[in-house]
Structure 1
Amino acid sequence: MDRYATVSQAADRPVSGLELDNRQLLGVREAGLQRRVSGFAARRWQDHFVSLNDGAILVDTNARALHFWSGDGQTYKIYPTSVPLTEDMTRRGRTSIVRKRVGPDWRPTPNMLKRDPSLPAYVGPGPQNPLGTHALYLSWQYYRIHGTNDTRKIGRRASNGCIGLYNEDIAELFDRATVGMQVLVV
């Protein structure tokens, strides 16, 4: 169960229906939820990594957000993600990017085929590819940070283990990320 209430407000002018009054905020607190001013809470890289070296990626599966820091510490980005469907599909810990690919091809994992034998054996690059337009391959077998051909998945528990991003976000991250970059999934 999510423990956060997302509260968005317009930056330059009020938008009708988006403001929360004190009664609504009290209801959020009584429900045991924490209030965030935006959809994502900013993070400090120092809380998760010893150094930035070639940059760092933190994937927060609870918040469904990916945090990126450049190696020089000058660039910090947050991207909304999809995360694995269940806890047992979720791998946590430290890994790294071992390969990058534009136009990845896709094959279901053995476990995916057990759950759904009707899956195609192979999907080449293109609009029907579940990995979207770009993929960052992690040192863990079968795990990737990639785009998606189904944008409804972003912000949800919807993947078979990978971290999914909008295609425009993975394209931007792909250009910034390097092979060897440290990744932490929490």
Structure 2
Amino acid sequence: MRAKWGVALAALALMGSSAVAQAEPGRYGGGFIEFLMTGDGRGPARRPAVDGYGALGEPRPVAVAQPRARFAALPTGQGSEEGMIARAVDPRFARQVVAYDGPGRAGQIVIDTNAKYLYLIQPAGQAIRYGIGVGRPGFVWTGAKTISAKREWPDWTPPAEMLRRRPDLPRHMVGGPENPLGARAMYLGTSLYRIHGTNEPHTIGQNVSSGCIRMMNEDVIDLYERTPVGTRVEVI
């Protein structure tokens, strides 16, 4: 009987070492346990990374881990917002990592209205760069603000001065894919200005707004997840 138990234990030991060899390289983490329970050692999916580019668009082999975009239900209850994200075509304004030696420090936002870029500063002389739309002539502004509030699929109530210019606008519009504020809004101080998404992604890279900073919806979701209330925003 003892001999039989010895053979059985040796077989289990061999099977265990084989399981470890086949499991996800996380050693004794979730991949190994999942392999023992189901035979599937793939383990949890890894978060994607963003390809890096040097200053002025020059290729540079840099990779920065990106948080997975947190897609939520639309306020109208019509399912996931992921299928409602409108993507722009112009590759110049695609989100990318660039070398950065401008003002500010890691964690802060710098907005270059002339170049139509928003920079989220990263450590080690890098920044995540997003394409943006900015104010029309007469509506461009500069200065420093902080993010005072954040909203997902925000409602939109045009201010009185905008309604005087555009009496055809609705007095109030609930959040959703057709709302001009898009998927997310970050409010700047006590002003009427916001960093927000858009239902017109083709306007990114243009002077189109009444002073707000507009972004593609997938980009404003990414920025929203990275920036807490209190983040400094410098518009230059």
User: What is the TM-score normalised by the length of structure 1?
Assistant: 0.71
Structure 2 residue 205 is the aligned partner of structure 1 residue 180: no
- Distance of 2:99 and 2:116 partners within structure 1: 13
Q: How does 1:127-138 map to 2 (within 5 A)?
A: 127-138=177-188
Q: Distance in 1 between matches of 2:144 and 2:124?
A: 20
Q: Residues 137-161 of structure 1, C-alpha deviation per residue, up to 9 Å, x if partnerless?
A: 1004110000000112101011111
Matched, 1:81 2:132: yes
RMSD across aligned C-alpha pairs, in angstroms?
Answer: 2.6
Tell me if the contact between 2:100 and 2:127 (Cα under 8 Å) persists in the aligned partners: no
Tell me, in whole angstroms, the C-alpha distance in 1 between the residues paired with 2:133 and 2:143: 17
- Percent identity of the aligned residues? 38
The structure where helix makes up a greater share of residues is 2
Residue 56 in structure 1 maps to residue 113 in structure 2: no
| Of 155, 159, 181, the match for 2:209 | 159
Alpha-carbon separation, structure 2, partners of 1:10 and 1:183? 27
**Distance in 1 separating the partners of 2:57 and 2:203:** 20
Which fold has the larger relative contact order, with Cα–Cα distance below 8 Å and residues 6 or more apart in sequence?
Answer: 1
Is residue 68 of structure 1 aligned with residue 120 of structure 2?
yes
**CA distance change for structure 1 residues 75 and 98 in 2, over 3 Å: closer, same or farther?**
farther
1:112 and 1:144 map into 2 onto residues whose CA distance is: 15
Q: Name structure 1 gaps, 5 residues minimum.
A: 1-6, 12-37
Q: Give the 3 Å change call, closer, same or farther, for CA 42–116 of structure 1 in structure 2.
A: farther
* 1:131 counterpart SS class: coil
Deviation at 1:109, TM superposition (A): 1.6
Q: What's the CA shift for 1:111? A: 1.8
Name the aligned partner's letter for residue 209 of structure 2.
S
Q: Which runs of 4+ in 1 moved over 4 A?
A: 7-11, 38-42, 72-75
How many aligned positions are there?
A: 147
**How big is the shift at 1:68?**
0.3
Spell out, residue by residue over 1:110-153, the C-alpha distance to the aligned partner (whole angstroms, 9 max, x if none).
Answer: 22111111110011011110000001110041100000001121
After superposition, the Cα gap between the structure-2 partners of 1:130 and 1:144, relative to the gap in structure 1 and judged at 3 Å, is same
Matches within 5 A, 1:1-186: 39=92, 42-44=99-101, 47-49=102-104, 51-52=105-106, 55-70=107-122, 76-86=127-137, 88-186=138-236
Structure 1 residues 161 and 10, CA, compared in 2 at 3 Å: closer, same or farther? same
Q: Distance in 1 between matches of 2:163 and 2:207?
A: 19
Letter in 2 for 1:83: V
Aligned-partner SS, 1:89: coil
Unaligned runs of 5+ in 2: 1-55, 61-90
